[in-house]
Amino acid sequence: MFIEPHNGLSNRGWIEVICGSMFSGKTEELIRRLKRARIANQRVEIFKPSLDVRYSSDHLVSHDDNMIRSTAVHHSNEILILSDDFQVVGIDEAQFFDEGIMDVCQVLARKGVRVIVAGLDMDYTGKPFGQMPNLLAIADYITKLHAICMVCGQIANYSFRKSASAEQVILGEKDLYEPRCRICFQQQEDSGS
């Protein structure tokens, strides 16, 4: 369970990373934390990569249809430009951002901003995804969420792609992906289907 830091130093920023497989609740947890910050009357801004338009172009939307308004950006540097005067900055689908996302998060945290980042830690092949390994390395707090394996019902850490495409990024939902545990993911990989 994540416990928000409180040490009397309210002007100190930090970086929180929420990671896991598809369907593990990453966006849901990000939205929950951002809504709590708003309830506490903190100034909140939310960003997502412009390529993620699966549910909405101007909202973060979880798989269970929970949503919060967000700003789509093409490049991580836009986050710095658009996040002036905010106390909390949320960033979803961080694996899709360019290599500057790590520096953007560092700059914001040094300015006293609470930065909450969510993203896939592994791609459909089970390899570290995009800039997530770098964000995990600099995070002050990490929350790893799990889904349920669609084959055996155990804890799932992997995002299995149902299609044969070898492109690293294919946006999709349950039609293209399903969560798998380590064993079921590996068995499918070994069988080559």
- The gap between the terminal CA atoms of the chain, to the nearest Å, is 36
Answer whether residue 175 is part of any domain.
no
Q: Is 93 a catalytic residue?
A: yes
Residues 6+ apart with CB under 8 A from 25: 62, 145, 147
- Is residue 8 a part of any domain in this protein? no
Q: 16, 45, 93, 178: which one is catalytic?
A: 93
For 57-97, write each residue's pLDDT tens digit: 565 565 565 667 788 999 999 999 998 889 999 999 999 99
Write out pLDDT tens, residues 1-54.
Answer: 454 555 444 568 999 999 999 999 998 999 999 999 999 999 999 999 987 655
In a domain, 169, yes or no: no
Provide the residue range defining the domain that includes 20.
Answer: 14-145
pLDDT score at 1 = 47
H/E/C letters for each residue in the chain?
Answer: CCCCCCCCCCCCCEEEEEEECCCCCHHHHHHHHHHHHHHCCCCEEEEEECCCCCCCCCEEECCCCCEEECEEECCCHHHHHHCCCCCEEEECCHHHCCCCHHHHHHHHHHCCCEEEEEEECECCCCCECCCHHHHHHHCCEEEEECEECCCCCCEECEEEECCCCCCCCCCCCCCCEEEECHHHHHHHHHHCC
In a domain, 168, yes or no: no
CATH of the domain at 111: 3.40.50.300
pTM summary value: 0.85
Domain count, the chain: 1
How big is the CA angle at 120 (ends 115 and 122), to the nearest 5 degrees?
A: 135
Is 140 within the bounds of a domain? yes
Assigned domain for 88 exists: yes
Answer whether residue 159 is part of any domain.
no
Q: Is residue 91 part of a domain?
A: yes
